[in-house]
Amino acid sequence: MLIKMKYACYAFFAVSILLVLVIIGAPKAMAYSQTGPVTVCNSGQLTNLGMDVIDEPFSTKIFGGTQTWFQSTNWGDTHLKFNGSLYSPCGGALVWSKTRAQLYTNPSSTPAKPWVISTYQDTNGLLGFIHVEFAGSNGNKGRTGLAWSTDNGDTYTYLGDILSPYGDPDMGGGFMQGVPYFIKDGYFYVYFIDNYEGSVGISVARALVTDVITAAQAGNTGTNLWHKYYNGTWTELGLGGNAAKLNIMGITHSNAAYSTYTGKYYIALTTMTWGGIDSWIKLYESTDGITWTLTQTVAQDTWANLGEAMGYQNVSFVGTDGSNNGIIGKQFYLYSGFNSYSLPKLYRWTIDLSNNSYQASTGFSSTQGANNWSYQYWNGSTYTNMTWDSTKSRWSKSGTYSLIAGKGQHPDASADSVRKFTAPQAGNITITGTVKKSDITGGDGVNVKILKNGTQIWPASGWQSIAYNDATGYNVNVTTSVTANDAIYFITNMNGNNSYDSTSWDPIITYGSSYQASVDFSSTQGTNNWSYQYWNGSAYTNMTWDSTKGWWGKSGSYSFVKDNGQHPDDSADSVRKFTAPSAGNITITGTVKKSDITGGDGVNVKIMKNGTQIWPASGWQSIAYNDSTGYNVNVSTTVAVNDAIYFIVNNNSTSSYDSTTWNPIITYSSVTTTDDDTSGTYTGAWGSSGAQTGYYNNTAHYSNTSGDYVTYSFTGTSITWIGGQNTNHGKVDVYIDGTFDSTLDTYASTWNKQVSLYTKSGLTSVERI
HSE-up of 721 (CA within 13 Å, CB side)?
Answer: 25
Query: Where does 651-767 show beta strands of DSSP type E?
Result: 660-662, 665-674, 680-683, 687-689, 700-703, 709-713, 719-725, 731-736, 739-745, 752-760
What pLDDT score does 428 carry? 62
Cα separation, 134 vs 142, whole angstroms: 6
- DSSP single-letter state for residue 239: B
What pLDDT score does 765 carry? 41
Average pLDDT over residues 620-629: 97
Q: 3-state class of 303 per DSSP?
A: helix
Confidence of residue 6 (pLDDT cuts 50, 70, 90): low
CA angle, 663 then 669 then 673, to 5°: 130
Average pLDDT over residues 27-39: 62
Least confident residue range of 293-302, 734-743, 760-769: 760-769
Cα separation, 99 vs 156, whole angstroms: 12
Alpha-carbon 710 to chain mean position: 37
What pLDDT score does 712 carry? 74
CA angle, 539 then 646 then 356, to 5°: 155
CA angle, 464 then 470 then 475, to 5°: 55
Least confident residue range of 277-281, 373-377, 652-656, 728-732: 728-732
What pLDDT score does 569 carry? 97
Per residue in 119-149, pLDDT (tens digit) is 999 999 999 999 999 888 888 888 999 999 9
pLDDT exceeds 80 at position 424 = no
Q: What is the mean pLDDT of the chain?
A: 87
Confidence of residue 27 (pLDDT cuts 50, 70, 90): very low
CA angle, 635 then 118 then 85, to 5°: 95
Nearest to 76, CA basis, from 110, 108, 127, 42? 110
Query: Domains of the chain: which residue ranges?
Result: 2-17+675-760, 104-252, 363-511, 516-667
Long-range contacts of 279-285 (CB under 8 A, 24+ apart): 279/303, 279/306, 279/310, 279/311, 279/312, 280/311, 280/312, 281/312, 281/315, 281/334, 281/336, 282/250, 283/32, 283/334, 283/351, 284/248, 285/29
Confidence of residue 186 (pLDDT cuts 50, 70, 90): very high
Q: Which string of b and e fits 122-146 if b means at least 16 CB within 10 Å?
A: beebbbbbbbbbebbeeeebbbbbb
Per residue in 66-106, pLDDT (tens digit) is 999 999 988 888 999 999 988 889 988 999 999 999 999 99
What pLDDT score does 482 carry? 78
HSE-up of 487 (CA within 13 Å, CB side)?
Answer: 15
Per residue in 274-291, pLDDT (tens digit) is 888 899 999 999 989 999
Share of the chain above pLDDT 90, in %: 56
What pLDDT score does 427 carry? 59
Cα separation, 349 vs 37, whole angstroms: 5
The dihedral through the CA atoms of 688, 693, 696, 698 has a sign that is positive
Per residue in 683-737, pLDDT (tens digit) is 888 888 766 666 666 777 888 888 888 887 665 555 777 777 888 888 888 887 7
Per residue in 515-537, pLDDT (tens digit) is 878 867 888 899 878 999 999 99
Share of the chain above pLDDT 70, in %: 89
pLDDT exceeds 90 at position 17 = no
Give CA torsion, residues 217, 218, 224, 229, to 10 deg. 10
CA angle, 572 then 578 then 584, to 5°: 145
pLDDT exceeds 80 at position 766 = no
For residue 602, CA distances in Å to 295, 473, 533, 631, 652 come to 38, 34, 21, 13, 7
Average pLDDT over residues 655-673: 83
- Read off the amino acid at residue 406: G
What pLDDT score does 416 carry? 98
pLDDT exceeds 90 at position 339 = no
- Read off the amino acid at residue 602: G
Average pLDDT over residues 378-397: 96
Element (H, E) at 47: helix 43-48
Alpha-carbon 562 to chain mean position: 22
Cα separation, 127 vs 209, whole angstroms: 11
Cα separation, 731 vs 110, whole angstroms: 75
Strand duo 455-458 + 446-452: pairing: antiparallel
pLDDT exceeds 50 at position 18 = no
Q: Residue 288 class from Cβ within 10 Å (0-12 exposed, 13-18 middle, 19+ buried)?
A: exposed
Cα separation, 519 vs 94, whole angstroms: 36
- Top-ranked range on mean pLDDT: pick from 227-241, 354-368, 722-736: 227-241
Per residue in 298-330, pLDDT (tens digit) is 988 888 888 877 899 999 999 988 899 999 988
Element (H, E) at 174: helix 171-174
Q: Does domain 516-667 have CATH number 2.60.120?
A: yes
Cα separation, 109 vs 490, whole angstroms: 57
Nearest to 384, CA basis, from 280, 489, 478? 489
pLDDT exceeds 80 at position 337 = yes
Residues near 73 by Cβ (< 8 Å), separated by ≥ 6? 50, 51, 52, 53, 54, 55, 80
Q: 3-state class of 162 per DSSP?
A: strand
Per DSSP, helices labelled H in 268-391 are 303-306
HSE-up of 140 (CA within 13 Å, CB side)?
Answer: 6
Strand duo 256-259 + 233-237: pairing: unpaired
What pLDDT score does 670 carry? 53
Strand partners, 728: none
Fold for 363-511, please state it. Jelly Rolls (2.60.120)
